[in-house]
Structure 1
């Protein structure tokens, strides 16, 4: 599996795996005396995805330049860590779906996957089942009739699952607060050669983001890979969580779901 380099911001390092693009090494010399790249250096060196968004923290999407600047400012201004699963927050509010929407998370799988189309369909269904089995409130609904026109412009589904060719990540997803134009799960062919990370668990991890769950390793208990403070804990820290990168001091190497993960789902969305 490919390991991507990261930069240190505000004395906190974020290590990324091939589930997504890293916050890359600065393209130019960091700001004098601070060891912190300027915003311009940071923006220039951050991977920009095919739809114009920026991918940070491994596989999390920042929709545009304004949000990227806010993200940078949070990192630079974060001089300490704050005190399973954790949910993303936006302006202090949980980033989650409404009760009605989480029970109807419709998606399509692009026919552009070609010979691998049915394999992606199966991996999506089994990845979704990990979350659906934890809470009866959650229902990912596959709409096969939309596969032939499976893009973010197809309004018959909430999100699309599309192929991508990139060396920056295996797959990346989105949060509930992401703009509609960027609500897609993008999957690279490397999903089929990721060792102990099965396609089911990789897509399960990404679908965790679509439900609002953050990387578990941003918690202070992991001792590394800090991302930012915009999250709320739902459970005790879980180093084996499906949302915890193994190479960020995780204790599971296959991204499988744990009982603590399931408890976190129930805490956010109910039984």
Structure 2
């Protein structure tokens, strides 16, 4: 009886959480190939051809890939450095508070915080101005709404660095890497060799699922690039919503096509990478 009741509850949970997502993507897929929609005229791949040959869409995909890659590389490198070189500080209460605090900040708040710090009229520009390094705040380099997405990347790093530091620290303890490093040093390895050849490969391998999923989280992020990005290039999620909410009905199929394209890219990469890997940590 309990097993049937548990199965029923699981089915209800899946129906309320998974079914709307499946229906939403199903509707988007049908819209992108012309089977539904006011202006569509039946089965065709016209919207896909227009999207895949659009400079705006290609630039959005490339810019999203660039932002996600830069964020992950810098955040993971920094988190590994903190985990391997600040073990004692991580275990202290004040340092743990600093680590966990950014995880409680919403993306919109983090974007506004970055804007207040790094914009031409922000805190850093005024400090540098009053220090005499620049003659006016307008001489401060454009970090917000710039073509390289520095403000977007900086905000994502601010949010992802604590997350990966916590993940790596927990894995460091679970894998007993300190003992393995001690054995390596006893056998003649240097501290750098123990870190680079033992700790780093194990941490990256065990955190691989979290790294991949966070990559696609940044790839498809919306609030931060909306507030800190520019009109061109835009990240794929911002371009998608802009196309969907415009008054031109001809742009709506492009938005749905971009949504399906993102799903195909993310789903394909995740399936290929995780096909021979376990999604759960073997603690």
TM-score between both structures, scaled by the size of structure 2: 0.20
TM-score in terms of structure 1 length? 0.20
As a proportion of its length, which structure holds more strand?
1
Q: Which has the larger helix fraction? A: 2
Kindly indicate whether structure 1 or structure 2 has the higher relative contact order, using CA contacts under 8 Å at least 6 residues apart: 2
Larger Rg: 2
